[in-house]
Chain A
Amino acid sequence: MSRMTQAELRTDLVAEYAAWLTGFLPNDYYERYREYRWDIGLRRAHQRAAFEAGWLQPTWSPEHGGRSLGLAEAMEIRLEAAMRSAPKLPNVAGPGVAAPGIRQFGTAAQIDRLLIPLLRGDEWWALGMSEPEAGSDFASLRTRAVRNDPDGRVFRVKGRKIWTTQAHQSRWCTLYARTDPDAPKHRGISCLILDLESPGVTIEPIRMASISDETFCEVILDDVEIPADSLLGPVNGGWQVAMSSLNHERQMIWIMNWVEIQRGLSSVRDSQATHDDYASGEVFAELGSLLADAEALRATGYRALNNELADRPSPEADILKLLGSQTLQRVWELSAAAAGPRSIDDTDLLFERQDALAATIYGGTSEIQRNIIAERLLGLPKG
């Protein structure tokens, strides 16, 4: 197929998606975006409708709610959704992280039982990864899962998970637990699908510093029994399940960051109307630098995609998380600077600034990202 036809195909698809989204959204969506962004009912309805129309995971097959699109087409759809400020998924961990893991590693029975309710948004998912003593050093987790004998039909699980987003609203959790305490720490972890309604599970929401509705929880596991057929992936293969599931999120993270950056840049521009001394040189210079960051993010995302499509290594993809999250923080700081003292009583801006702080932490902190770049891409020795 020639380049031109492919491009036309993409344009048609994007137009089809855009028409679908416009049809779904309320007429006053853009005027009242500040309210609608918190409207959980609308966000749930949007996820369900997107799933039914095949837009939720466009690269997946129709029976999993997709359209069997290529990576390039799917990226155009995601960018279009981002540019049109499509309602945010209410439980990103489900479709973004758990679903790809289930699809890649799940048994037929697991996929059959779990995938569709997840994608429709009927059942939410939590990621049982961080622990009080295992944050960036995820592989040192201590939660234990023990089978009484090698063929035992249940794992007994004891331990504590923390910063587990939305666990109190979720039905399921991909729980990472140590199944072989004698193996090297990366090789003794398994992923278990935990029904959060099981006896022995206690979930305590943790009050957030901001008005975020992505609430952290502490999850205490006191002799919880998990059936052995709830194992996701191989026994002691949890590290691969985790890395592979998070990898699916990578493209989503930069696109999410990118659109938030665009929103921040627009807010800087809008400050101009209300503030006399907006036109100070440093605001313009920082604005230009942030425009370069945003454009670099997009260009790098496309370069990485083109390399993936051509079966070439795409090392530049590893900068997307680091660059995107840092830029996001800078753009909201500039927005505050451009607004002057008006920033103080702008609680939307307060939320944006607080929310941006999470971006350099979740999905691997910036410090871990730098270690990954230095060690895997630049070949520097481990510390």
Chain B
Amino acid sequence: MDVGLNSGQLALRDSVRDVLRAECPPAIARQAMTDPDRWRTVWKTVVDLGWSELAVPTADGDSSFGRMDLTVVLEECGAALAPVPLLSSVGLAAGLLRLAGPAVDDVLAEIGSGVVAALAVHPPGHRLPAVPMTLQEGRVYGRAVAVPGLPRAELVVTLASSADGPVAAVVRVGDGVTVREAECTDPAQPVADVEIDAQAIAIAPVDLESALATPLVAAAADLVGVAGAALDRAIEYAKTRRQFGKPIGAFQGIKHALADNYVALERARGLTYAAAARHDDPATSVAAGWNAAALAKAAAADAAVGCGRTAVQVHGALAQTWEHDMHLYLRHAWQGASTLGDSRALYHAVGRRFAGSRADDDQQGSAIRKGHEEWRQ
């Protein structure tokens, strides 16, 4: 099981980090909250650097590390709070289409070139992602809520039920696509509801679980980045802020909370890398891939929200102000945590599935072993 980054991925991580440090400090995210066009210059940099091309699976069929590279870049963009639609367009929308076959090649190429897409998979009233649309004679009908990045998107990728089973469908924003934007938790990453009654520009039959696994891992990577960055900020502050004659980080009340955050972060990071590696492994079953992705997303949301909340607590009153960055991390974390399934709903789904699987004892191996093997296939 390969679950770490190799040296090439580590180098990629460092170069992405350097670019973002120079081009995209958290102040940019704050500006993007009030200036709806602020994201465009950063996005141009991202597209010029070729990061959006990670939308397109490698042509030679050997996709090993493809998703791992995307994971690395998304984690760094999350850490930088980069107000760009890389997660929503390349991670989520293109991610859903990744296994949809040649019918969506042109759409993936468009997204790869920097055309922004958004993924609509939340029917009203659902906590977990599902199929919000129906497809009839090539037209897509239906409603979805909280579509990440939709106000910036030219394409909407969605799931639709059809007479032949579920399909991934793509429509172009325009006539028949009504975008309802409202205020949201993280205006640097705006979301909107959508109502669609429009002709699809691409349709491909999909297996729901394998289609959703890649977006889940992408969302996890972004949240792992947010968690790590929020924790770093809290650590720096705990080292320098002094009370009662010593740095507050010397008190176990602070120290242990941050150590627990670190555990939550590495738990999430381990699950996210393992889930990404698993998706690149053809031996992985669909169910195991979805389980791994769902647990990674849930763990990453827990880590991001947990690290963000502790970081606010460590900073005290300072973190209650607009000028301090900490609300930016938490806004991003809270919003991401509710996208594609909150962690309780995801844990519940995976737990119920595990409980429903049976392990029969036999002489070849213990129940544990059998359960484990079914689980990891």
Contact (Cβ within 8 A) B371 A299:
no
Q: Which residues of B253-299 are within 8 A (CB) of A?
A: 254-256, 258-260, 262-263, 266-271, 273-274, 291-292, 295, 298-299
Proximity string of chain A (57-98) to chain B, C-beta cutoff 8 Å, 1 when within and 0 when not: 000000000000000000000000001110000000000000
- Bound together, the chains give a CA A284 to CA B295 distance in angstroms of 13
Contact (Cβ within 8 A) B298 A269:
no
The residues of A that contact B25 with a CB separation of less than 8 Å are: none
- Bound together, the chains give a CA A269 to CA B361 distance in angstroms of 14
Q: Which residues of A265-299 are within 8 A (CB) of B?
A: 265-266, 268-269, 272, 278-279, 281, 283-293, 295-296, 298-299
Proximity string of chain B (336-353) to chain A, C-beta cutoff 8 Å, 1 when within and 0 when not: 000000011011111110
Q: Which residues of B7-22 are within 8 A (CB) of A?
A: 7
Q: Which residues of A239-277 are within 8 A (CB) of B?
A: 259, 262-263, 265-266, 268-269, 272
A interface residues, how many (CB within 8 angstroms):
58
Q: Does more than half of chain B's interface fall in helix, strand or loop, or is it mixed?
A: helix
Which of A27, A31, A269, A374 has most B Cβ within 10 Å? A374
Q: Is B83 an interface residue (CB 8 A)?
A: no
Q: Contacting chain A: which of B114-122, B168-176, B204-212, B242-250?
A: B242-250
- Bound together, the chains give a CA A170 to CA B108 distance in angstroms of 67
Q: Is A300 an interface residue (CB 8 A)?
A: yes
Contact (Cβ within 8 A) B298 A288:
yes
Q: Contacting chain A: which of B36-44, B65-73, B153-161, B362-370?
A: B362-370
Contact (Cβ within 8 A) A285 B239:
no
Give min CB distance, B274 to chain A, whole Å.
4
Contact (Cβ within 8 A) A300 B259:
no
Q: Is A110 an interface residue (CB 8 A)?
A: no
Q: Is B183 an interface residue (CB 8 A)?
A: no
Q: Is A342 an interface residue (CB 8 A)?
A: no
- Bound together, the chains give a CA A209 to CA B37 distance in angstroms of 66
The residues of B that contact A285 with a CB separation of less than 8 Å are: 344, 347-348, 351
Contact (Cβ within 8 A) B270 A284:
no
- Bound together, the chains give a CA A147 to CA B243 distance in angstroms of 48
Contact (Cβ within 8 A) A262 B372:
yes
- Bound together, the chains give a CA A298 to CA B275 distance in angstroms of 12
Contact (Cβ within 8 A) B299 A323:
no
Contact (Cβ within 8 A) A374 B249:
yes
The residues of A that contact B238 with a CB separation of less than 8 Å are: 380
Q: Contacting chain B: which of A123-131, A150-158, A301-309?
A: A301-309
Contact (Cβ within 8 A) B372 A323:
no
Q: Which residues of A364-383 are within 8 A (CB) of B?
A: 367, 369-371, 373-375, 377-383
Once A27-B363, A30-B361, A84-B366 are accepted as A-B contacts, the answer to whether A373 and B263 lie under 8 Å apart by CB is yes
Nearest B residue to A372 by beta-carbon distance?
A: B259
The residues of B that contact A288 with a CB separation of less than 8 Å are: 295, 298, 346-352, 354
Which of B249, B291, B362, B368 has most A Cβ within 10 Å? B368
Give min CB distance, A167 to chain B, whole Å.
32
Q: Is A322 an interface residue (CB 8 A)?
A: yes
Contact (Cβ within 8 A) B250 A380:
yes
Query: Which residues does B use to contact A, with CB under 8 Å?
Result: 1-4, 7, 235, 238-239, 246-247, 249-252, 254-256, 258-260, 262-263, 266-271, 273-274, 291-292, 295, 298-299, 343-344, 346-352, 354-355, 357-359, 361-369, 371-372
For this complex, 12 residue pairs linking A to B, each with C-beta atoms less than 8 Å apart, are A30-B361, A33-B366, A269-B358, A272-B355, A291-B350, A295-B271, A300-B267, A303-B4, A373-B263, A374-B249, A381-B239, A381-B249
Q: What 18 additional pairs, Cβ within 8 angstroms, besides A266-B359, A283-B351?
A: A31-B361, A83-B365, A259-B368, A266-B371, A278-B355, A287-B354, A288-B348, A296-B266, A296-B271, A300-B267, A303-B3, A306-B3, A322-B263, A371-B256, A374-B256, A378-B258, A383-B251, A383-B252
